[in-house]
Structure 1
Amino acid sequence: MHKVLMIIFWSLIAIGIAGCDLNQNSSIKTLAAKGPIKIAVSNTPLSAPFFIAEQQGYFKRNNLNIELVRLDGGVKCFNALLNKQVDLATASETVVMFNSFKQTNFSVLASFVESDNDLKLLSLVPQKYHQLNNLANVRVGIVKSSASEFFFDSLLIMYNKTQQPIERIYLRADQLIPALLNNEVDIISAWEPLSYLLTQQITSNTKVINSRGLYHLSFNLIELKQTTLSASEKLALLKAINDAIDYIHTHSDLAQVDISRILNIDPSQLHYSWNDYTFRLSLSNALFSNIQIQSQWAIDNQLVPTEKSVDFRQVIDRQLLEDFMNSEAGW
């Protein structure tokens, strides 16, 4: 009888252990059956939190099956979302603003990085145009209907130069530096890493003005309002991104090594602009104001339908981030 009881006792323990193992792995098996959550991310250091989250295993630790779909630029990422090729996308506030005039079927869930020194005016003879002097008949290379053009127009307003006769030469981003070096333009309005790439060819200073703080770029996490993702999955994603941001803050040098390897860029290029990035999860009033200002610029320059009014509060969803912040604070 004693032997029978002992056999039953150890059998129950074995069943209990097996049950624990089953419970521990069941959610992972369910995730695998469901398939990965696809996120379109731009091939830029601005997307560092996503690359670090994947590299350091933060997605898996938060029980997420994530596939990063790497594309060149926020416009392509946003289009992949609209075409339902991905579940989420990352893009700048400028992309958000332009697309808000076309549809409001998407939501900005959070900003994850900001930079106040990403765009610059560059010239081979910057001293000639210091403080935006001598702009009459100057040839300026610009990427049309982009942050490049908005930044340049903002500077003209700030320095009271809007009446200057200026020749705008619209180019693709990859054409800006060649046009400057070939004397096809006198100034370019460019974002990183173009300033860094120019320093590799021209050793002298090329910056026309100190533009730090004059324009705030943000990259944002965006979803379609009709999504199959649950609130718990999105909260887990914010947790994984926040974990990656903490890693970036505490292991900056290691994070830079990882990002330069993942993006296959020279470490010196990454270091050139790394300190300009502020990685954090937010949805500040500054983002809303920035989108409003850019929208008025787009309307004034007839880049969007002038008869259409957009309430940008329709595309900014603060609830998810507030829920995440409350849960992190233990409320």
Structure 2
Amino acid sequence: MGFFADNNLNVELVRLDGGVKCFNALINQQVDFATASETVVMFNSFERTDFSVIASFVESDNDVKLLSLTPDKYRQLNHIANARIGIVKGSASEFFLDSLLIMYNKAHLPIERIYLPQDQLIPALLNNKVDIISAWEPLGYMLSEHISQKPEIINSRGLYHLSFNLIGLKNTSVNKNRKLALLKAINDATVYIHTHPKQAQMILSQALNITPSQLQYSWDDYTFRLSLSNALFSNIQTQSQWAIDTQLVPKENQVDFRQVFDRQLLETFNNQEAGW
């Protein structure tokens, strides 16, 4: 729609598979900005504080789910005892599973955790190497293509909030005005998504080379807005405690996540938009 050009920006989109690769490209200075989930932000904050979360631009409270080819078998969470569960280690996939078990007081259940890369979750399920996977979209949609019912085991809406965040390096050649212009372009796109949802879905379908039905499958689960909310900050803190408890990060490491939130830039942008 030309929103970048309208804000005097010449932007190249570098497509990478997942937030971890995007973050690494940023740290290696192969890109000026990256997008990643709050889980990627949390883990990397234990290693470094030379980056900033500039804004969250999309959120979902129904993106990560427990999925199975035989979901009816596991409607009662007690029934997942001794199940083989495919998980992406140290990711939202594992955090979601642990949160679910704790919430329903099922943390004591014996389960077999099978750690797999993201792209091997569905093949493992289809080849009967696991019974369940803890996974994010579009894997739920992809599984729905193989079975006649929804693959989701239980309704877990609201249990876990996934955010997609714009991240930059603190020491960068991109000045403040260009960062503000970038936020303006993203905000313009967000307004368009809200005012022209059908047209936005058509554009996304073509740009991402996915079917409109895949977009429609989870479209209503996403909230498009620029924010840096207290809920996001609390979510990262909760995940960090989980990472310490599960020994995914050193226990002695204490992280002040305020160091990686650039609230001032977004406040400046919001004030400009409001005409203050």
Q: Normalising by the residue count of structure 1, what TM-score does the alignment of the two structures yield?
A: 0.82
Matches of 1:111 and 1:297, distance apart in 2 = 22
Q: Please report how far the alpha carbon of residue 236 of structure 1 lies from its aligned counterpart in structure 2 after TM superposition.
A: 0.8
Matches of 2:10 and 2:27, distance apart in 1 = 21
> Residue 266 of structure 2 is aligned with which of 314, 321, 326?
321
Q: Please report how far the alpha carbon of residue 89 of structure 1 lies from its aligned counterpart in structure 2 after TM superposition.
A: 0.8
Higher relative contact order (CA 8 A, sep 6+): 2
1:217 alignment counterpart: 162
Q: Structure 1 runs of 4+ off > 3 angstroms?
A: none
Q: Please report how far the alpha carbon of residue 275 of structure 1 lies from its aligned counterpart in structure 2 after TM superposition.
A: 1.2
Q: Where do 5+ consecutive residues of structure 1 fail to align?
A: 1-55
Aligned ranges 1:117-156 → 2 under 5 Å = 117-156=62-101
Aligned ranges 1:92-103 → 2 under 5 Å = 92-103=37-48
1:106 alignment counterpart: 51
Q: Normalising by the residue count of structure 2, what TM-score does the alignment of the two structures yield?
A: 0.98
- The structure carrying a bigger helix percent of its residues is 1
Matches of 1:125 and 1:200, distance apart in 2 = 14
% identity of equivalent residues: 75
1:47 alignment counterpart: none
**CA displacement, residues 186-215 of structure 1 (integer Å, 9 cap, x when unaligned):** 111011000100111111232110011111
Q: Please report how far the alpha carbon of residue 135 of structure 1 lies from its aligned counterpart in structure 2 after TM superposition.
A: 2.4
**CA displacement, residues 128-150 of structure 1 (integer Å, 9 cap, x when unaligned):** 22141222211111111110000
Q: Please report how far the alpha carbon of residue 118 of structure 1 lies from its aligned counterpart in structure 2 after TM superposition.
A: 0.4
Matches of 2:40 and 2:56, distance apart in 1 = 13
**CA displacement, residues 155-206 of structure 1 (integer Å, 9 cap, x when unaligned):** 0100111111111011111211121122211111011000100111111232
Secondary structure in structure 2 of the residue aligned to 1:71 = coil
Aligned ranges 1:1-331 → 2 under 5 Å = 56-331=1-276
Q: Which amino acid aligns with 1:312?
A: F
Aligned residues: 276
Matches of 1:181 and 1:207, distance apart in 2 = 15
Q: Where do 5+ consecutive residues of structure 2 fail to align?
A: none
**CA displacement, residues 208-266 of structure 1 (integer Å, 9 cap, x when unaligned):** 10011111000111111101111111111111110000011111111111111011111
Matches of 2:116 and 2:164, distance apart in 1 = 23
**CA displacement, residues 30-58 of structure 1 (integer Å, 9 cap, x when unaligned):** xxxxxxxxxxxxxxxxxxxxxxxxxx111
Secondary structure in structure 2 of the residue aligned to 1:78 = helix
Contact 2:78 2:109 in 1 (8 A): no
